[in-house]
Structure 1
Amino acid sequence: MALQPLDWQPSNCHRWPESSKTDAHLLLLLCEDGHNSQVDGRRAPSPSSSDGRESFQPVTILELPPEILAEILVHCLPTYSAAPAALRAPLLLGGICGEWRMIALSTPSLWSTFILPVDMGKTTDDSPVVRLFESWIARGGNYPLTMVISCSASDAGTPPPYTLPGSFISALSRSASRWHDVHLVLPHGDFHRLQANDGFPFLRRLAVKAADWRLSRPDATLPLDLFINASVLDDVFLGEGFDISDINLPLHQLSYFESHGGTAVSYFQVLCQATELREIRLNPRSVTRFEEMVHSNVKSLNLQSVDFQESEALGILDYMTCPALEKIVIGGSTPLLSHSLLRFLSRSSPPLREFILDLDHHHISDALANTNDVLMAMPALELLELKPLTAETAHDIFNRMYDKTTLFLPRLTTLRVEVTLHGVRSSSWTYATLVRMAVARWNVEADENIAQLQLFKLSFSNPHHFSRVWGNPWPQLDADSRAQLVLLDEQGMDIELMIGDDDEPPIVVDA
């Protein structure tokens, strides 16, 4: 069941477990006439027809075995889970007929994945949301839970400090032994009220955030020990209000870690102890005090992916060696100074396959300093995304990829670039180099040293600003270049070329 987190959840929503879904209209197709609707089932074959072929009779929906109907009901769940609602499965299913209600109530998996918003200012022991939660948990039996409990305070509610009623905390504690993938947005103090008498035998993914994180809390609060013995926990996200110093975790068994409130020092602590870590996302609150870290190198043998939410955090690379790293993602609002990255690459020599720079598109300079030096240190790259780039740097990359003698990025199959037009006259940008590169990297034939470029996307940042402020039209795609790109597209290369501004639709090759 894919669970869509609430708006506080970071961009890595893909980490929620997926399962197959049917179209949202399936239920209506099945139930338009409960007793007469038919599905494409089959009865046992009747005697052969006159032409010698077996004849099949359709089966009505109510003739399906209960276990088959239960499976169909599970596939009627929303693609993106939301708060329980009468007009949404699974509650909707119980209103079709008595038999469907009985089957729905006896199918725990229907009640195992949900999002529950809770108004901290209005929730009391006898509030409907408490009874709803208790009922939902009971109907789920012993099935592992995938859920979001998201607390917030309405403007008309009780003023802070906030706390949840004891009945809700008790119900949440009783369900702890069934937690599997759980996002909890609770008042900070209520995390310390939770209990897990039977432990967390199923808990694999955990995300926590203090609903009252904007409010000050006592400095003497002890670290939360609730999850220290979660034996299979391997994926942790710490939202606002939680640093690694606020919660004790079984770091030695984690494969994924992310924190929105950490410092460079706290991330270094995680890297030192989480020896099985495969992926880490860094969004440090403070990146200027690297001198507080122990001046010894952390060799992360298993780390395969690192995501920097701010490019200023790259200084931590001076304290890391990651020989198995396959993916680097860097975002933020400041251009990337690549000195730490270059030192890291020369020390680690990782088999990097993906390198993504996604900085603020308002920058008018290259997102990456010493672009070609950095790229030459990653010869195994298969996916490259750079934005923004100056026109000069983009041309340089295309030129190097066109010249097969340099073997520049020889394994690249996916290339996405965004070019900033600041200071560029329309006549100074041509598409000839771009087209030559695309043709050369598509027609590689049997060359074993160079991979075929399969996907290429080029766009311009702020063309409207360029056109209006600098008085120049955006660079136009000439007919010959367009024809060559269209031909490559027809031959199978996935090409997308975005050119235009707010007043004129963009040109898109392979729309």
Structure 2
Amino acid sequence: MEPHILSFPNEITAEIFTHFLPPYPDRPSVVGPLSPSFLLGICRQWYDLDIQVDDDELHAQQHHLLQLWLQRSGNCPLSIELRNFESGSLRRRSHPLMPAFLETMLCHASRWQDMHIFMPYENLRQLEASVSMPLLRSLTFGPDNLHRMTDDTPERPMHLFTQAPQLKAVVLSHSFNPFCITLPWSQITTLEAVLFDDQFFEILRQAQALESCTLWLNSQDFESPNLPTIPTLSRLRYLKVEGGTKEWAFFLQGFLRRLGTLPALESLHISEMFLGPDPVDAICSLRPRGYPREIEIWQACASLDVYRGAFPEAQLAISA
């Protein structure tokens, strides 16, 4: 009979995982020499623990497994993805056990490091608890139903993750609304988001530490006089902007004018329709002294030669 994996000396088991699995928090590939499937030749059985709240018959067992998993993880940093599921619902509602799952996870919030949290808005109130999260460094986050809420949209915004001093990187869900949920924007250095015009400016006027920003813009009204002024983002080195159609080009050109100058910008990735009738001049106005080292333009009408003549030392990628 083949020996069970647990009967191996700890040193051998540790070497197996050291050589076949990538360093935390990177994930292994599904197939290939660095995939967990290679360990199938050693481990007779692999148990895949997938914590999801999507089956009434299993939720009690899954909650128990979550508690057991958190207990056995000791003092190790945690990377967790928690999503709410309700099959067949046009409007996602909270699963009855979602509060219990979140409460269990909050008991270990001091070990949170890389978190993915998507759930109905009403459950997010639990995150307002005064809980220290000293290790939290990246967050993929947002409600999965706020865009469907109307009359029940709250008057008082939630202030979340206020005790997470190491939180620097944030990816927001499509339903995130900064007028209903606030994060510690002043410390965020990396942001990815799908936003409307007023939401975009509400965040950027507070996120003065941003170094990298990837945006998909959902609105055409960048010429609105009601939009707030954005202070200069003096640390922003990477900017990628997507969104809109050619029919919106006139309105989208106001985006960069609202954004102002970006003195530290090194990498720009943007559709030419955001740049207006003179795209070269628009790029130069972003960084009056010099220009970005890396420039990627798509939906371009101007030729590569035009950009190469204006930015001879930049790494260029131009596509129609």
Q: 1:117 aligns with which of 30, 45, 52?
A: 52
* C-alpha separation in 1, matches of 2:41 and 2:242: 41
Within 5 Å, give how 1:12-411 maps onto structure 2.
33-34=2-3, 62=8, 66-73=10-17, 75-77=19-21, 79-80=28-29, 116-119=51-54, 122-123=55-56, 127-155=60-88, 161-165=93-97, 166-194=99-127, 196-213=129-146, 215-217=148-150, 218-260=152-194, 262-290=195-223, 291-294=225-228, 298-310=231-243, 312=249, 313-319=252-258, 320-331=260-271, 337-339=276-278, 342-346=281-285, 348-349=287-288, 350-359=290-299, 367-369=300-302, 373-382=306-315, 384-388=316-320
SS at 1:180 equivalent: strand
| Structure 1: runs of 5+ lacking an equivalent | 1-31, 38-60, 82-86, 105-110, 360-366, 389-511
> How far is 1:279 from its partner?
0.8
TM-score (norm 2): 0.77
Which has more radius of gyration? 1
> How far is 1:115 from its partner?
6.1
* C-alpha separation in 1, matches of 2:37 and 2:64: 19
Within 5 Å, give how 1:5-16 maps onto structure 2.
none
CA-atom RMSD, angstroms?
3.8
Query: 1:164 and 1:287, CA in 2 relative to 1: closer, same or farther beyond 3 A?
Result: farther
* C-alpha separation in 2, matches of 1:164 and 1:324: 48
* C-alpha separation in 2, matches of 1:95 and 1:331: 52
Q: State the structure with bigger RCO (CA 8 A, min sep 6), 1 or 2.
A: 2
Q: Is residue 81–residue 116 contact of structure 2 (8 Å, CA) maintained in 1?
A: yes
* C-alpha separation in 2, matches of 1:175 and 1:355: 43
For residues 284-336 of structure 1, give each alpha carbon's deviation from its aligned partner in whole angstroms, at most 9, with x where no partner exists.
Answer: 22231433224x5632221111011126545221132111111111259x686
Query: 1:226 and 1:167, CA in 2 relative to 1: closer, same or farther beyond 3 A?
Result: same
* C-alpha separation in 1, matches of 2:281 and 2:287: 10
> How far is 1:132 from its partner?
2.2
* C-alpha separation in 1, matches of 2:226 and 2:90: 42
* C-alpha separation in 2, matches of 1:275 and 1:95: 52
Query: 1:221 and 1:189, CA in 2 relative to 1: closer, same or farther beyond 3 A?
Result: farther
Q: Give the residue type in structure 1 aligned to 2:293.
A: R
For residues 469-506 of structure 1, give each alpha carbon's deviation from its aligned partner in whole angstroms, at most 9, with x where no partner exists.
Answer: xxxxxxxxxxxxxxxxxxxxxxxxxxxxxxxxxxxxxx
For residues 160-193 of structure 1, give each alpha carbon's deviation from its aligned partner in whole angstroms, at most 9, with x where no partner exists.
Answer: 6334413212112112221111111111111112
Query: 1:208 and 1:220, CA in 2 relative to 1: closer, same or farther beyond 3 A?
Result: same
Greater shift after overlay, 189-198 or 72-81?
Answer: 72-81
* C-alpha separation in 1, matches of 2:176 and 2:233: 24
Query: 1:182 and 1:341, CA in 2 relative to 1: closer, same or farther beyond 3 A?
Result: farther
Query: 1:167 and 1:310, CA in 2 relative to 1: closer, same or farther beyond 3 A?
Result: closer
Q: Is residue 176–residue 196 contact of structure 1 (8 Å, CA) maintained in 2?
A: no
Q: Is residue 256–residue 275 contact of structure 2 (8 Å, CA) maintained in 1?
A: no
* C-alpha separation in 2, matches of 1:70 and 1:329: 43
Q: Give the residue type in structure 2 aligned to 1:266.
A: Q
* C-alpha separation in 1, matches of 2:2 and 2:205: 62
SS at 1:273 equivalent: coil
Query: 1:347 and 1:88, CA in 2 relative to 1: closer, same or farther beyond 3 A?
Result: closer
> How far is 1:69 from its partner?
2.4
Q: Give the residue type in structure 2 aligned to 1:133.
A: L
Q: Is residue 277–residue 303 contact of structure 1 (8 Å, CA) maintained in 2?
A: yes
- Matched with 2:24 is none
Q: Is residue 270–residue 296 contact of structure 2 (8 Å, CA) maintained in 1?
A: yes
Query: 1:341 and 1:228, CA in 2 relative to 1: closer, same or farther beyond 3 A?
Result: farther
* C-alpha separation in 2, matches of 1:273 and 1:375: 35
Q: Give the residue type in structure 1 aligned to 2:287.
A: S
SS at 2:164 equivalent: coil
Query: 1:266 and 1:126, CA in 2 relative to 1: closer, same or farther beyond 3 A?
Result: closer
* C-alpha separation in 2, matches of 1:300 and 1:326: 13
> How far is 1:203 from its partner?
0.8
Q: State the identity as a percent.
A: 24
* C-alpha separation in 1, matches of 2:39 and 2:86: 27
* C-alpha separation in 1, matches of 2:154 and 2:78: 33
Query: 1:34 and 1:314, CA in 2 relative to 1: closer, same or farther beyond 3 A?
Result: farther
* C-alpha separation in 2, matches of 1:352 and 1:203: 32
* C-alpha separation in 1, matches of 2:105 and 2:41: 25
SS at 2:145 equivalent: coil
> How far is 1:80 from its partner?
4.6
> How far is 1:229 from its partner?
2.7
Q: Give the residue type in structure 1 aligned to 2:284.
A: L
